[in-house]
Amino acid sequence: MITAAGLTKRFGAKTAVDDLHFTVHPGRVTGFLGPNGAGKSTTMRMIVGLDRPTGGSVTVNGRRFAEHRAPLHEVGALLDAKAVHTGRTAENHLLAMAATHGIGRRRVREVIELTGLESVARKRVGGFSLGMGQRLGIAAALLGDPATLLLDEPVNGLDPEGVLWVRRLVRHLAGEGRTVFLSSHLMSEMAMTADHLIVVGKGRIITDAPVTEVIANGTSPRVQVRSPQASRLADLLAGPSVTVVRSEAGLLEVTGVEASGIGDLAAAHALAIHELTPKSASLEEAYMALTADAVEYRTEAVR
Amino acid sequence: MTTMTTAPTRPGSMRTDPTTGLTFGGVLRSEWIKLRSLRSTIWSYGLVVAISLGMALLMSLSMVNGMNGGPDAASAPAAQQAGLVVDASVFGVYFGQLVAAVLGVLVISGEYSTGMIRSTLTAVPRRLPALAAKAVILGAATFVVGAIATFSAFAVSSVVFAGIDVTANLLDPAVFLPLLGGALYLSLVSLFALGVGTILRSSAGGIAAVLGILLLLPTVLQMIPADWAQDLVPYLVSIAGMNTFTSTTAEASADGFGVWLNLAIVLGWVAAAGVGAAATLTKRDA
């Protein structure tokens, strides 16, 4: 359980994290979603005390991270894959991390096997690919068998097999009753992994809700209607909460009315309908709609 | 059968072995693993010993050859003979301190440049125990390596001086104390460098700053034609440091401070760097 109350971080004049209030509950995967520069990483760094909040507080299971007697058993964190000395072997890195908490060699071997690093464990980390570095970071996070996992963009640089592996792993960990807090800027990844979403933009929370709800609320469903009497149907549909877009002759894009409503209306007025297709909102659309105003680095359209 | 099939979710830690936890002993072990698992450590310590042996050989050979035409050193008092052998043995410390300084900076700046510091401070979020453990391990390892360097240099010098019947007894405090003093100085230099490296967080900056203080500062101060500048020279870390292990053989060191005051001056520099390091490490974002 992670609890943030009024969590704020300013770097000089720039506010990276602005008065966040949220709770991450155990037993489910909570996605932390937002565009680059939204304050996700800074928030995660504050949870483990690497960055000091300018205001507010964040606790893990009721205490600030540094106040726990065995921090690695409380929280396992993958903050970025490059938190390892490049001159050291993966195994020695894990042994050194484990030694701080008296965690034995057996557990180090376990996490090496769990993350599939056996063949490179005795190689120096400097030669690792991004994906291997990511696996090593996950191995280090799992060392203390922690009740809470913080994973910042864990699928970055992983191949499809690795992505699938991470997805299964975090689902499994949450299924064991652990708290899993996972950041990403990819909505599609989140939709497949997370149960709950906290969406941030420009340091503020935009939404804090179950994934299904975010998708449902983020966009209004459209219905594609083909009819020889399209103009007449458009006039009948017109209303304050309904938008009708005529893309080509006889084809309407209707938002604000469900397909059944359109069908009933057409039947009541004896209008012919050739096609009636509900278009479910895509996840990316839901996400773009949510964060449209909160994108820090917007790209200009290519001309 | 009406058994509950849902597993209860355990609150708090999920660890299977309740005997483990964060301890200072554990952090010490961790820092020891870190120090010995890097090539830069092996190279640095190898270099300290090699420099010490090489310089002892060069120095004692040139002293022996210089004396061949001069007064008969073999008939000099025992204390004077011992002084010659010891001076040749600890000569390498002057150069070895540069390697110890570089290693001291790298031990912490290497963590900042690679990002390792974030792993270190996540495992030890109170931060100061991590710095303290680093200091204990680095200081102890450098002292042991320094002692290996000076004592083996003494063996080399003794063999060379034996050629002209000049001898020194290792059991004589005037012999083993300076050898230990040289090792202690190397250890303190590495700690001073660790402190500066922690404050500056950069390998290049840290090495430049420490070598500047050790080498450049004495030269610059001596070139300033003012009394205050000359008065400051004996308080410099490298000047006071060198005097801790060379003055035991002379009646009085050049500045007349004596071993203990010189040692106190060096400790003062180390403490200042240590306090600065502790303050910046705990205050800054990692």
For A:55-94, CB contacts with B below 8 A are: 61, 65-66, 69-75, 77, 79-80, 82-89, 92-93
State whether A177 and B286 contact (CB < 8 Å): no
Identify the pLDDT of residue A283.
65
- Given a cut of 60, is residue B249 above it in pLDDT? no
The minimum CA-CA distance between A124 and chain B, rounded to whole Å, is 10
Of B11, B29, B285, the CB nearest to A99: B29
Overall average pLDDT of the B221-245 stretch: 91
CA-to-CA distance for B18 and A84, rounded, in angstroms?
A: 27
Q: What is the mean pLDDT of residues B234-241?
A: 92
Query: For residues B116 and B205, is the Cβ–Cβ distance under 8 A?
Result: no
Q: Is the pLDDT of residue B12 over 80?
A: no
pLDDT tens, residue by residue, A161-192: 999 999 999 999 999 999 999 998 888 888 88
| Choice between B247 and B149, residue whose per-residue pLDDT is larger | B149
What is the rounded average pLDDT of the residues B6-34? 72
CA dihedral (B171, B172, B178, B183) in degrees, to 10, reads 10
The pLDDT of residue B251 is 46
Average pLDDT over residues A268-294: 78
Residue found under tokens 């056996």: A118
Three-state DSSP class for B244?
helix
Cα–Cα distance, A88 to A92 (Å, whole number): 6
Of residues A101 and A242, the one with the higher pLDDT is A101
Residue A30 · residue A81 · CB < 8 Å: no
User: Average pLDDT, stretch B212-231?
Assistant: 92
Backbone region of residue A150 per phi and psi (left: phi > 0; alpha: psi in -120 to 50; beta: other values): beta
Q: What is the mean pLDDT of chain A?
A: 89
CA distance A158 to A164: 9
Q: Whole-angstrom Cα distance, residue B161 to residue B159?
A: 6
Nearest to B209 by CA among B109, B111, B285, B284: B109
* Whether residue B218 has pLDDT greater than 50: yes
A214 and A207 in contact (C-beta within 8 Å)?
yes
pLDDT of A111 = 96
Q: What pLDDT does residue B200 have?
A: 97
**Domains and their CATH numbers in chain A:** 2-210 (3.40.50.300), 220-280 (3.30.70)
Q: Do A84 and B123 touch (CB under 8 A)?
A: no
Query: pLDDT band for position B8 (50/70/90)?
Result: very low
Residue A16 in 3-state DSSP?
A: strand
Tokens of B63: 């002293």
What is the rounded CA–CA span in Å between residue A48 and residue A60?
A: 9
A97 vs B: CB within 8 A: yes
Cβ partners under 8 Å of residue B210, min gap 6: B101, B102, B104, B105, B192, B193, B196, B197
Of B14, B39, B126, the CB nearest to A178: B14
Q: What is the mean pLDDT of residues B277-285?
A: 95
For A187, other C-beta atoms within 10 Å of its C-beta total 26
CB contact under 8 A, A70 and B22: yes
Residue A54 pLDDT: 95
* Interchain CB contact of A118 with B (< 8 Å): no
How far apart (Å, rounded) are the C-alpha atoms in residues B249 and A25?
A: 70
Q: Which band of pLDDT confidence, cut at 50, 70 and 90, is reported for residue B5?
A: very low
Lowest-confidence segment of A69-73, B51-55, B164-168, B275-279 by average pLDDT: B164-168
Nearest CA in chain B to A50: B286
Mean pLDDT of the A35-64 span? 94
Q: How confident is the model at residue B204 (pLDDT cuts 50, 70, 90)?
A: very high
- Minimum CA–CA partner of B19 in chain A: A102
Residue numbers in A near B30 (CB within 8 A)? 96-97, 99-100
pLDDT tier for residue A121 given thresholds of 50, 70 and 90:
very high
pLDDT at B50: 98
Higher pLDDT, A296 or B246: B246
Q: Are B239 and B254 a contacting pair, CB within 8 Å?
A: no
Inter-chain residue contact A146 with B14, CB threshold 8 Å: yes
Residues B230 and B245: their CA atoms lie apart, in Å, by 22
Report the residue of B5, B13, B36 to disrupt the A interface, i.e. the one with the largest count of A CBs within 10 Å.
B13
- Name residues whose C-beta falls within 8 Å of residue A27's C-beta, 6 or more positions apart in sequence: A174, A175, A177, A178, A179, B9
Closest-CA residue to A143 (of A106, A181, A178, A88): A106
Q: Which residues of A283-302 are buried (b: 16+ CB within 10 A; e: fewer)?
A: beebbeebbeebbeeeeeee
In this predicted structure, the answer to whether residue A244 has a pLDDT above a threshold of 90 is: no
Contact at 8 Å (CB) between A273 and A263? yes
B286 contacts A51? CB cut-off 8 A: yes
pLDDT the model gives residue B1: 38
Q: Characterise A236 by phi-psi region: left (phi > 0), alpha (psi -120 to 50), beta (else).
A: alpha
pLDDT score of A294: 64
pLDDT at A37: 85
Is the pLDDT at A27 greater than 80? The verdict is yes
Task: Say which amino acid occupies B258.
Answer: G
Q: Which residues contact A221 (CB under 8 A, 6 or more apart)?
A: A255, A258, A278, A279, A280, A281
pLDDT > 90 in chain A, percent:
59
pLDDT in tens, B54-85: 999 999 999 888 876 555 677 788 888 888 99
Contact B121 A140 (CB under 8 A): no
Among candidate residues A125, A128, A140, A82, the one with its CA nearest the CA of residue B39 = A125
Looking at beta carbons, which residues of chain A come within 8 Å of B38? 85, 87-88
User: What pLDDT, on a 0 to 100 scale, did the predictor assign at position B68?
Assistant: 61
Residues of B in contact with A71 (CB under 8 A): 22, 122-125
Residue A80 has pLDDT above 70, yes or no: yes
- Using a CB-CB distance cutoff of 8 angstroms, which residues of chain B are in contact with residue A72? 22, 122-123
Give the closest of B26, B39, B110 to A102, CB-based.
B26
Identify whether the C-beta of residue A77 lies closer than 8 Å to the C-beta of residue A141: yes
Q: Is the ipTM of this complex over 0.90?
A: no
Do A60 and A74 form a contact (C-beta atoms < 8 A)? yes
- pLDDT of B146-186, one tens digit each? 999 999 999 999 999 998 888 899 998 889 999 999 999 99
Q: Could you tell me which residue, B158 or B244, shows the higher pLDDT?
A: B158
Give the pLDDT confidence of B98-115 residue by residue, as tens digits: 999 999 999 999 999 999
pTM of the model: 0.86
Rounded CA gap, A72 and A97, in Å? 9
pLDDT exceeds 60 at position B11: no
Q: Which tokens belong to B176?
A: 């083993």
Q: Do A177 and B7 touch (CB under 8 A)?
A: yes
The pLDDT of residue A258: 83
**What percent of chain A stands above pLDDT 70?**
93
